[in-house]
Amino acid sequence: MRIDILTLFPELCEGTLRVSLLGKALENGILDVHLTNPRDFALDRHHTVDDTPYGGGAGMVMKCEPLFAAVESLREHNSLERVVLLSPRGRRLDQNLVRELAQAPDLVLICARYEGVDERVSEALVTDEISIGDYVLSGGELPALVLVEAISRMLPGVIGDWESVETDSFYDGRLGSPQYTRPPEFQGMPVPGVLRNGNHAAIRRWKLKEALRVTRQRRPDLLTDISGEEQALLNEIEREAQAPERENTP
C-alpha cells in the first residue's frame, strides 16, 4: 500500500516512520510512504504557501495553488482516489474507518497548518476529511502518523501474529480484556487462575466476559450488535454488579 503525506514539516514524520513496526513495514515493502512538501510547488520565489484570509480574522490560511499542484504531481504514482484532509471538522477516526481505508490501494494525506486550508481544497480536491478527536493541534502531521500506524496494523505481514490484531481494543467493536504476564503474583495481586489453568475454552470465555465488563464500565456506547453469548455474559455481569447492593440492603 502506498501513502503520500503532504506536509510543510516532513522532518516531523521521518523519525516515526523509521522505527518499530512502521519501519519494518517500510523496509519489507508492505507499506510505501512518501513525503511531499507543498512549499516545493509554491509559485513565487519566496515559496509562499499561506496568506491572510479574505474577510479578516486571525492567523493565516494555506493557499490552494501549492496543494493542488503537489497532489497533481503524485498522479503518476498514486490513483488519487482517496485524498484525505486531516481536519477537526472531519469524520471521527475509528476502527471501522481504519478498516475501510486499509482496503484502498493508496492514499494521499494532507496535513493542514496555520488556521487551515483554503475551502476550495476541500470542495474540489479532497475526498475525505478525518479527525482524530475533538481537540486542537498545531498541524495535521501527528494525526496523519496516527492514521498511518492504525492502517499499517491492518496490512497482512505487518503484525507477526494476526491473532494479536484481532484481540486489539476496538477490533471487534469492544475494548480489550485485561492482560497479565509474569510474575504470577505481585505485591499481593495474583494473576486470575483461569488464565493459568490451560483450559482454552474457559480462557476464551473469561477474556470475552472481561472485555464486555470493561466496555460496559467505560464505553457502553460500543455495546451494539450484541450476540446471544455476549448478552448472556452481560446479564451475568449485571447480576454480579447488583449482588453487593443486595448484600448491603438492610
Q: Are residues 147 and 189 in the same domain?
A: no
Instruction: Write down the catalytic residue from 88, 106, 172, 205.
Output: 88
Q: Are residues 134 and 53 in the same domain?
A: yes
* Active-site annotation holds for 115: yes
170 occurs within a structural domain? no
DSSP result, the chain: -EEEEE-S-THHHHHHHTSHHHHHHHHTTS-EEEEE-GGGG-SSTT---EEPPTT--SS-EE-HHHHHHHHHTTTTT---S-EEEEEEEEEEP-HHHHHHHHTSSEEEEEE-BTT-B-HHHHHHT-SEEEESSSS--SBSHHHHHHHHHHHHTTSTTTSSSHHHHHTSTTTTSSPPPP---S-SEETTEEPPGGGGS--HHHHHHHHHHHHHHHHHHH-GGG--S--HHHHHHHHHHHHHHHHHHHHT--
* Active-site annotation holds for 168: yes
Mean local confidence (pLDDT), 180-184: 93
Task: List Cβ neighbours of 163 (8 Å cut-off, separation of 6 or more).
Answer: none
Q: Are residues 233 and 143 in the same domain?
A: no
pLDDT of 58 over the 80 cut = yes
pLDDT of 163 over the 50 cut = no
84 occurs within a structural domain? yes
pLDDT of 174 over the 80 cut = yes
pLDDT of 245 over the 80 cut = no
* Active-site annotation holds for 153: yes
82 occurs within a structural domain? yes
Pick the last residue of a domain from 110, 133, 152: 152
Q: Are residues 26 and 138 in the same domain?
A: yes
Instruction: Write down the catalytic residue from 82, 153, 174, 213.
Output: 153
Residue 166 banded pLDDT, cuts 50, 70, 90: low
Mean local confidence (pLDDT), 157-181: 73
* Active-site annotation holds for 238: no
161 occurs within a structural domain? no
What average pLDDT is seen over the chain? Answer: 93
178 occurs within a structural domain? no
Instruction: Write down the catalytic residue from 65, 106, 115, 129.
Output: 115
pLDDT of 120 over the 80 cut = yes
pLDDT of residue 167: 55
pLDDT of residue 190: 95
Q: Are residues 104 and 19 in the same domain?
A: yes
pLDDT of residue 101: 98
pLDDT of residue 171: 59
Residue 215 is which amino acid? Answer: T
Q: pLDDT tens, 89-116? A: 999 999 999 999 999 999 999 999 999 9
pLDDT of 246 over the 90 cut = no
Q: Are residues 132 and 213 in the same domain?
A: no
Pick the last residue of a domain from 152, 172, 200: 152
15 is in which domain, residue-wise?
2-152
For residue 36, what are the β-bridge partners?
6
Residue 233 banded pLDDT, cuts 50, 70, 90: very high
Pick the last residue of a domain from 136, 152, 168: 152
What total of structural domains would you count in the chain? 2
Instruction: Write down the catalytic residue from 94, 168, 172, 230.
Output: 168
pLDDT of residue 161: 55
pLDDT of residue 173: 76
